[in-house]
Chain A
Amino acid sequence: MSIFDLTIAGAAKALAAKDISSVELVTAYNGAVEALNPRLNAYITVTAELALAQARAADARIAAGEATPLTGIPLAMKDLFCTEGVRTTAASKILEPFIPQYESTVSGKLKAAGAVMLGKANLDEFAMGSSNITSGYGPVENPWKRAGSDAKLVPGGSSGGSAAAVAARIALGATGTDTGGSIRQPAAFTGLAGIKPTYGRCSRYGIIAFASSLDQAGPMARNVEDCALLLQAMAGFDEKDSTSAEREVPDFSAAVQRGVKGLRIGIPAEYRMDGTNPEIVALWEKGIEWLKAEGAEIIDISLPHTKYGLAVYYIVAPAEASSNLARYDGVRFGARVDGVDLIDMYERTRAAGFGPEVKRRIMIGTYVLSHGYYDAYYLKAQKVRNLILRDFTDAFAKVDAILTPTAPSAAFGLGEKMDDPVTMYLNDVFTVPASLAGVPAMSVPAGLSAEGLPLGLQVIGRHFDEETVFAVSAAIERAAGFTALPEVRAK
C-alpha cells in the first residue's frame, strides 16, 4: 500500500501509532504536488516550505500527546480564504499582489488543529463559475479521463482546484466554498465527497466575498468520514461574522455511523427535468433502492419552485457580487492601473483586473439594483427566494432528508458549454435551490457514467441538521462501494 492510499482518518491513525511521521507524509505530498501540479494547475500558489515547517511542528505536537485528528494532515486551501502572509488571489488578476495581513477564521481553525497547508488551490475567478475556466491563472485539468480518450475535462467549479488536488492525491483533503454548488458540483465531477453546511455553520470572516447571503465554507475529501473530520474543525460560532450561528457543533463523525433505518427520504418530482441525462436518472433510482434496502422510508415530495431557482440565483448572486466587488478600485489593495483622474483610474483598474465572467456578473448586478429596475428584478427574486425556502420547510415537515442528483451531467470537456453564459449556468440547476434556502447539502460519489466518469448524488437536510446529511451520505457511500480512481494521480 502506498502512502497516498491513506485517507485522513487512516493517516491520523498511522500518525498516532507513529507508523509514519507528518514530515514523511508531507514530504511525499510536496513531491506529488511538484510532479503533478504543473500539468493539473490545481494550485495557484504552492507553499511547500511552510508545509514542511508545519509538519515538523505537528510531529512535535503528536509526540507531546496533544494531537487532534487533523494534526499533521496535508490539505489544499482554496485561494479564497485569506491566509496571513501567504498571497491570496481569489484567482483574479486584480488581487495578484495581495498578501493578507490576517487569517480567515476557517483556515485559522484548521491551523490551530495542526493541519498542514500544501498551497492555495485554484478556482473560478472570485468563485464565479462551474468549470474553473474563468480563473485568471489558467484552467484546472480534471484528473479523470473519458474511457479511451485523452481529452482534457473540467474539474467543475468553482472549487475545481481543491477537487482536482484531492482527486489526484496531491492533497489529502481540501477546503472549498459553495455559493450555488461550488463544493458539490466539483466533488461530483471528480469522484469526491463534499458538503456545503448550513448557512451560518462556518464563519465567513476572511473568505473573499462573492454573494454574502449564499457563501458557505465546507470540506472536500475522499470520503464522507474525512469530510466529517474536516467540518468538525472548520465549523463553529465566530463573533467576527454577524451571520455566524451561535450553536453547538455536534459530533459529525458519530453521525456518519448512524445508519438510515426509519429515516424518511424525500424524492422531489421537480428534479426529474425534461432532457435530464438517463444515466443520471438511473443512478438516482439506484440511490433510492440503496436507501430503501438500508431501512429508510421513501416518500415522494414536491418542491414546486425548483425550476425558478437558477433565475433567482442569477439575480441575487450578481447583485450581491456587484456590491461586494466595488471594493476593488486600486486604492487600498490589489493591482492598480493609472489613469488621468480618479474615476479613470477606477475604470482602467477594474477593466484590466477583472475577467469577462466577473465583469458580466458585476454588470448584471449593477443593472438589477439600478433605479427603476430594483423592484422588477431584485425584489421579485427575493420574494421567489422566500417561496423556495418555503418549499423546503414544507417538505421537511414530512421527510428527514432529500435525495437528488448533484449535477445534470458528468464532467465535460474544456471548451464545451461555452456558447453562452446561460448554458454554463444550467450546471447548477440541482445545487442552487439548497443554497438559496440555506440548508445543508452534500454530494457523494455513487457511480460511473458509461464513459467512465464519476457521478454524484446529493443529500439535502434541514437547517443545522448536517448529522442526518452525513448519515444518509454514508449509507449511499457504503452501498455504492465507489472505488474507482482517476487516471492522473500520485501513486
Chain B
Amino acid sequence: MSLDAATVRRIAKLARIRVDDAEVETLQGELNAILGYVEQLAEVNVEGIEPLSGGAQMALRARADVVTDGGIAEKVLANAPDRAGEFFAVPKVVE
C-alpha cells in the first residue's frame, strides 16, 4: 500500500499539522518507506491470537471514586500561552 500526495495531506489535516507542498513530497517518500518496512507483518499468522495492548502483566486497578485533588487553578493556568481570568483563551471559534 502506497500513500499518494492527497492522502499525505489528509493525514496531516487529521494530525493538525500544517504542511506545505514541498514537505508533502518529502513526507510521502519517508512515510512510504516506513509503511513498506512494516508490510512484512502481513506474512505472520495471527489466527486465534489476542491483541496485546499493554506492557503491564496485570489488570488495571480502580481507585476509590472520590475527589483527591483540586483548588489549584493557578497552577493549572501557570503555563497557559493566553488566559482570560480563570480560563484558557483561544481565538474566536463562533462568529
Chain A residues with a Cβ under 8 A of chain B: 97-99, 101-102, 199-200, 213-214, 216, 239, 242-243, 245-246, 305, 307-308, 310-312, 314-315, 322, 326, 329-336, 338-348, 350-351, 354, 359-360, 362-364, 366-367, 370, 377, 379-387, 389, 420-422, 425, 435-438, 463
A200 touches B58 (CB 8 A): yes
- Main SS at interface, chain A: helix
Q: Please report the C-alpha to C-alpha distance between residue A363 and residue B29 in the assembled complex, in whole angstroms.
A: 13
Taking a contact as CB atoms closer than 8 A, the residue among B33, B50, B81 that contacts A386 in the complex is: B50
Q: Please report the C-alpha to C-alpha distance between residue A246 and residue B56 in the assembled complex, in whole angstroms.
A: 11
B91 touches A340 (CB 8 A): yes
Instruction: Fill in one digit per residue for B29-66: 1 if any A CB lies within 8 Å of its CB, else 0.
Output: 01101110111111010100111111111101101000
Q: Please report the C-alpha to C-alpha distance between residue A242 and residue B91 in the assembled complex, in whole angstroms.
A: 35
A380 touches B41 (CB 8 A): yes
The residue among A331, A367, A425 with the most chain B CB atoms within 10 A of its own CB is A367
A-B contact pairs, 10 of them (CB 8 A): A98-B79, A200-B58, A214-B55, A243-B54, A308-B41, A311-B37, A346-B16, A380-B44, A382-B52, A385-B51
A331 touches B37 (CB 8 A): no
Q: Please report the C-alpha to C-alpha distance between residue A340 and residue B79 in the assembled complex, in whole angstroms.
A: 22
Hey, which chain B residues are within 8 Å of A305, CB to CB?
A: 44
Q: With A200-B56, A332-B88, A421-B34 as given contacts, are A101 and B78 in contact (CB-CB < 8 Å)?
A: yes
Q: With A347-B17, A383-B46, A421-B33 as given contacts, are A335 and B60 in contact (CB-CB < 8 Å)?
A: no
Residue total for B at the interface (Cβ-Cβ under 8 A): 51
B56 touches A363 (CB 8 A): no
- B11 touches A (CB below 8 Å): yes
Chain B residues with a Cβ under 8 A of chain A: 3, 7-8, 11-12, 14-19, 27, 30-31, 33-35, 37-42, 44, 46, 49-58, 60-61, 63, 72, 75-76, 78-82, 88, 90-93
A332 touches B80 (CB 8 A): yes
The residue among A97, A329, A336 with the most chain B CB atoms within 10 A of its own CB is A336
B81 touches A335 (CB 8 A): yes
Hey, which chain A residues are within 8 Å of B35, CB to CB?
A: 364, 367
A311 touches B49 (CB 8 A): no
User: How many Å from the CB of B23 to the closest CB on chain A?
Assistant: 9
Hey, which chain B residues are within 8 Å of A354, CB to CB?
A: 17
Q: Please report the C-alpha to C-alpha distance between residue A326 and residue B41 in the assembled complex, in whole angstroms.
A: 27
